[in-house]
Amino acid sequence: MITRYGELTVEGLVNIVPCTPGLPMRLDAFFVVVNAYLRSNSLLGPSRSGKSAFIESFCPNQNLAISTDVVASATQVITPYSIGSVFLNKRPLVLIDTPGLVGDRAVDWARVILPVYDFMRSLPPVPLHRLSIFYFDRITDNQVSDSGSRYNILQLFKTLVGTTTGPRNVSLRPAASEVTIVTTMWNTAQDEHQSVNRYQHLRKHDYKDLVKQGANMVQFDGSTRSAFEAFRRSADISSAFPEPHAWFNPEILRTLDPNPHRASGSIQRALVSPQRPPRGTLVQAPPYVRFLHEHESQKVAALKSHLGSIDLSLQAVSPGDARTSQFLKYRKHIEALLKISMGEIAKLESVHPTLTISPQGFGIEISSEAESWGLHNTPIRGLPIGEKPEDPVIGNANESRLIQQSAAPISGETKKSGVQERRLVSNVFKALKFHK
């Protein structure tokens, strides 16, 4: 018997099978990243997470124990599941179950994002399969704006699927149009009226910018029909993969080697080397790396401010004051937290995602400064002053001037506008023959 839910069809008994190395995935499949960024209380809480219930709703009679498996390896395992007998737009369906974001530490988030990034990049670059992503949010929880951790995770998610910008003459579609926001736990909500109000608030405020860019928002009540409806809605908005806004592909590798004829060699070394990119190479960090770095840096600034306040308090009290020991104890605690955060930043800055030679891709943000940001402690610029390049062969004076302008530091007084910077980067790509 064939059951149809719009573009989704069920042809027989549904079963869910993990895609192991011995069971390759179909290249023409419809890939859905399930719950790539779910906060920890939904993933590890005492009740079933929205993600687990969603996957298991496809086959309620099959004992999957997905939630147990995910909890045991929450920060490590990405598991694709093949949904047998279910087809979306006449394509087999593959659910990619990913770890959830845990806590409020940037490095923990990076440990989740980068494996997902690597997995998505491992998919064959063929225009056969399609891709969508589901973001889960429990309707029974407080609003996103009421929780600092939830808010930060949502902002991180938006850096991955937000509005795309890039060099001129590059037409990009927002990757947010591939997102389906699934609100879960509707079947456990005690106050339906309150849940409806929360849903409207999420749509009009917290997810407003995503919805405006084409993201879907659906309700999941634990039933198979509502899960199928979510996939039917996602089929309406998803597009072929890969495209210019392909997932997790926002990196820009800009070579500032004074010799354009040696650029290809520099690029190859940068791609294969796990170490820092070669001298003369400048890397623009993707937006999500910048967000992680900024988040952790803000924590460091706040802790240093606390230390300053404690020192002022210690100066204000008399030597024999009983509060002195309390202040010293609190100062020691803050120093320990600061040491941890500084270590997290050091780890984060050692992260090297796969570099991509492309002036396009979803989520690009051209920095207002011609310098690397977020991947390293200090910008990587052109050759040091006084060091001459070997066989300096420059195509023309304009190319040389553009490259030198891009490599030179930009002071606060001479920062260029965003439009000027995008024009400059576009011209650099043209000079180095990367511009399409």
Q: Find the CATH number of the domain harbouring 207.
A: 3.40.50.300
Residue ranges of the alpha helices (H) in 202-272? 208-212, 224-237, 263-272
The answer to whether residue 61 sits within a structural domain is: yes
Residues 195, 297 within the same domain = no
Of the ranges 153-157, 171-175, 197-201, 264-268, the best mean pLDDT one: 197-201
Residues 170, 291 within the same domain = no
Residues 296, 244 within the same domain = no
Of the ranges 50-64, 253-267, 355-369, the best mean pLDDT one: 50-64
| CA distances in angstroms from 46 to 40, 43, 150, 161, listed in the order given | 11, 9, 18, 30
Question: What's the whole-number mean pLDDT along residues 30-34?
Answer: 58
- What is the percent of the chain with per-residue pLDDT over 70, rounded to a whole number? 41
How many domains does the chain divide into? 2
Angle between helices 323-349 and 106-122 (to 10 degrees): 10
Residues 123, 45 within the same domain = yes
Of the ranges 79-88, 101-110, 199-208, 355-364, the best mean pLDDT one: 199-208
Q: How far apart are CA 121 and CA 113, in angstroms?
A: 12
The answer to whether residue 411 sits within a structural domain is: no
- For position 274, what pLDDT does the model report? 36
The answer to whether residue 267 sits within a structural domain is: no
Residues 324, 250 within the same domain = no
pLDDT in tens, 396-436: 333 334 334 433 443 444 444 444 444 444 443 444 333 33
Band (pLDDT 50/70/90 cuts) for residue 331 is: very high
Question: What's the whole-number mean pLDDT along residues 43-55?
Answer: 51
- For position 335, what pLDDT does the model report? 93
Question: What's the whole-number mean pLDDT along residues 24-43?
Answer: 46
- For position 292, what pLDDT does the model report? 74
Residues 171, 236 within the same domain = yes
Residues 190, 332 within the same domain = no
Q: Is the pLDDT of residue 374 over 50?
A: no
- For position 307, what pLDDT does the model report? 92
Closest CA to 425 of 167, 251, 164: 167
Q: How far apart are CA 380 and CA 236, in angstroms?
A: 44
Q: What is the mean pLDDT of the chain?
A: 61
Question: What's the whole-number mean pLDDT along residues 370-380?
Answer: 28
- For position 396, what pLDDT does the model report? 36
Closest CA to 83 of 21, 30, 28: 30
3-state class (DSSP) for residue 55: helix
The answer to whether residue 425 sits within a structural domain is: no
Question: What's the whole-number mean pLDDT along residues 146-170?
Answer: 59
The answer to whether residue 67 sits within a structural domain is: yes
Residues 95, 138 within the same domain = yes
The answer to whether residue 369 sits within a structural domain is: no
Choose one of 235, 256, 277: the last residue of a domain: 256
Task: Output 127 or 317, whichever has higher pLDDT.
Answer: 317
pLDDT in tens, 73-91: 333 567 777 788 888 777 7
Residue ranges of the alpha helices (H) in 238-317? 263-272, 287-316
- For position 285, what pLDDT does the model report? 53
Task: Output 29 or 224, whichever has higher pLDDT.
Answer: 224
Question: What's the whole-number mean pLDDT along residues 152-171?
Answer: 56
Q: Is the pLDDT of residue 370 over 70?
A: no
Q: Give the DSSP H/E element, type plus range, for residue 137.
A: strand 130-138
Residue type, 329: K
Band (pLDDT 50/70/90 cuts) for residue 209 is: confident
Residue 7, both tokens? 């573009």
- For position 410, what pLDDT does the model report? 39
Residue type, 217: M
Question: What's the whole-number mean pLDDT along residues 48-53?
Answer: 62
What phi and psi values does residue 242 have, to the nearest 5 degrees?
Answer: -90, 160
Band (pLDDT 50/70/90 cuts) for residue 196 is: very high
Half-sphere exposure of 12 (CA within 13 A, CB side): 5
Task: Output 12 or 347, whichever has higher pLDDT.
Answer: 12
Residues 301, 243 within the same domain = no
Question: What's the whole-number mean pLDDT along residues 356-368?
Answer: 31
Residue type, 336: A
pLDDT in tens, 211-251: 887 788 999 888 888 888 888 777 665 443 333 333 333 33
Residues 232, 117 within the same domain = yes
Residues 55, 117 within the same domain = yes
Q: Is the pLDDT of residue 48 over 90?
A: no
Q: Is the pLDDT of residue 162 over 50?
A: yes
Least confident among 98-107, 232-241, 275-284: 275-284
- For position 145, what pLDDT does the model report? 53
Choose one of 240, 256, 272: the last residue of a domain: 256
| CA distances in angstroms from 256 to 1, 191, 402, 408, 435, listed in the order given | 61, 60, 10, 10, 15
Task: Output 123 or 354, whichever has higher pLDDT.
Answer: 123
Domain carrying residue 79: 2-256
Residues 182, 248 within the same domain = yes
Q: How far apart are CA 177 and CA 161, in angstroms?
A: 8
- For position 54, what pLDDT does the model report? 78
The answer to whether residue 326 sits within a structural domain is: yes
Task: Output 98 or 137, whichever has higher pLDDT.
Answer: 137
- Contact yes or no for 22/122 (Cβ under 8 A): no
Residue type, 204: K
Least confident among 79-93, 95-109, 113-127, 407-421: 407-421
**253, β-bridge pairs:** 283
Choose one of 316, 334, 355: the last residue of a domain: 355
Neighbouring C-beta atoms of residue 20, cutoff 10 Å: 10
Beta strands of 35-123 (E only): which ranges? Answer: 79-88, 91-97
Residue 351, both tokens? 């992260």
- For position 100, what pLDDT does the model report? 67
- For position 278, what pLDDT does the model report? 43
242: cis peptide before it, omega within 30°? yes
CB-based contacts of 405, cutoff 8 Å, min separation 6: 370, 424
Neighbouring C-beta atoms of residue 77, cutoff 10 Å: 13
What phi and psi values does residue 136 have, to the nearest 5 degrees?
Answer: -100, 140
The answer to whether residue 412 sits within a structural domain is: no
